[in-house]
Amino acid sequence: MPSVSNILLQKDILLESGTNELEILVFSVGRFTFGINVAKVREVLPRQTMTALPQAHPSVLGVFQLRNNVVPCVSLRKHLQIESDPGSDQQMILTDFNRMQTAFTVDAVARIHRISWEKILAVPAVMATGSTPVTAVAQIDGKLVSMLDFEMIADQITEKTLREDAVSNPHQLPREQLRIVVADDSVTVRQAMIAMLSGSGYTQVQPFENGRLCWEWLEAQWKAKQNLAEIADLLISDVEMPQIDGFHLTKRVKEHPGLGQLPVLLYSSIVTPDNAKKGEAVGADAQISKPELHRVVAIADDLILRRSGNSPNAASAAKTVKAPPAPEAPVTQSPHQPTASEMQDSSIAAGSLLETFRVELGERIDELRDWLACNSTDHRALLRTLHSIKSAAQVVPVHDVSHAVHQMEEVVLSSKQDTAAIIGPLSELADWLQDLSQDRQLFANLLPSAL
């Protein structure tokens, strides 16, 4: 398929603006026809020679080298449990999303179709959590083509969580002396982040449940201490948060005369060039996607190291001159008091990550029901709640929940502000999540492995 490959590599012709159109690459696996948004495709390749990976997911065929990159390869036949035929899995679709390249083997690539977004239909059954993750259905040449949810497939295969082994400290940074501020509206993500950081030596973590509380604390600390070194060494923030989001929080920090030198790491599940530009515009020092959160410790090291002089010697010097932190003096007239969620964050041993997510899920279900009861037209608020549920589910991970919520997000986004089209599927979703949250055994059975 050299013609398709060439088209895909010429990204400029695929970047449409204001036409309400998209390109879909249609391909087949067995007797099934699927599609993928070309925006997520790098190129089409013949099957490559691969090196097997021990203890990899059963769907992973191995890795191969392409232009100095090592790329993992996934068999869609195996993952979708489609019977193999002679000569199958001979072509590869190289995808590029969430700042990761992954190849997927298919039987045949047909062609690229350019269609209107009006021809993209939401999946009829929002609660379809079967073995085939489909995010939408496209009407192409009089036929319905299932759009595979490649991001969900990648998430299912990697099963990455924040509960990683301790990360080595090659530059000998005094992690136990360094202060990290974390802002995320999901208590599950905050707890997992604290566990990951503290497990690698960053034991001084100050969590906040949204950008506004984080900003008020930083501002009060500055007024009391007038010394950034005594306040924080790094700010890690989610982008999508209520009240003050990560972009606005970063902007306030970077424009502050005293806090402006504080390094900021932003992360988001919505990874687009536009979002990356927004992060750069407000002064973020680093940006990563949610699937890359396992890299947080290494990135934290790098950002702190850069601020201290961008060399291992500078890090050693920082270790020798930075005194152990003294007990903090109380800040008078602080605009922020610790919330129940923050108190829960401070004790990781209080319960498992799964139980934390189950409790948080109950609170998010209440938000969904409030939205339904008010017959609200605030779709942005609804999407924010759905985003929080999905983010937490991906961290645990509970893939059936993140898959169902992802489909609900697609329904909301395709509704064109038609609230009536949302009420039915959202009610079903809320009922299913409630049944799930109240049944601990059923909930635990959804995990890919025991926590």
Domain boundaries, the chain: 2-158, 175-349, 353-445
According to the model, what pLDDT value does residue 126 have?
A: 46
Dist CA 71 CA 48 (whole Å): 10
Q: Which CATH number applies to 2-158?
A: 2.40.50.180
CB 239 within 8 A of CB 267: yes
CB 134 within 8 A of CB 151: no
0.85 surpassed by pTM: no
Say if strands 69-75 and 91-97 run parallel, antiparallel, or are unpaired.
unpaired
- What are the Cα distances from residue 365, in Å, to 34, 73, 166, 377? 33, 37, 34, 18
Least Cα distance to 199 among 172, 171, 169 occurs for 169
Burial of 267 (0-12, 13-18, 19+ CB in 10 A): buried
Say what the alpha-carbon torsion angle 242, 384, 369, 191 is, to the nearest 10 degrees. -70
Taking only the tens of pLDDT, the chain with its 451 residues reads 444 544 454 444 334 444 567 789 999 998 899 999 888 888 999 999 988 877 678 889 988 888 877 888 999 999 988 887 777 888 999 988 766 788 999 999 988 998 887 787 766 554 344 556 787 788 898 888 988 888 778 777 765 545 456 788 888 999 999 999 999 988 888 888 888 899 899 999 999 999 999 999 999 999 999 999 999 999 999 988 878 889 999 999 999 999 999 999 998 865 556 677 888 999 999 988 766 777 889 999 999 999 876 444 333 333 333 333 333 333 333 344 444 444 444 433 334 778 888 889 999 999 999 999 988 888 888 988 998 898 888 777 777 787 788 778 878 877 767 788 899 999 999 999 998 888 777 766 766 543 4
Burial 276-308 (b: 16+ CB within 10 A, else e): eebbeebebbbbbbbbbbbbbbebbbbbbbebb
Helix, strand, coil percent content, the chain, rounded in steps of 5: 45, 20, 35
According to the model, what pLDDT value does residue 325 have?
A: 37
Say if strands 120-122 and 134-140 run parallel, antiparallel, or are unpaired.
antiparallel
Q: Which CATH number applies to 353-445?
A: 1.20.120.160
Peptide bond into 397 cis (omega under 30): yes
Fold of 175-349: Rossmann fold (3.40.50)
* Triad 218, 318, 284: Cα angle to 5°: 45
Sequence-distant (6+) residues with CB within 8 A of 408 are 126, 386, 425, 426, 429
Q: Within 10 Å of residue 184's Cβ, how many Cβ atoms? A: 30
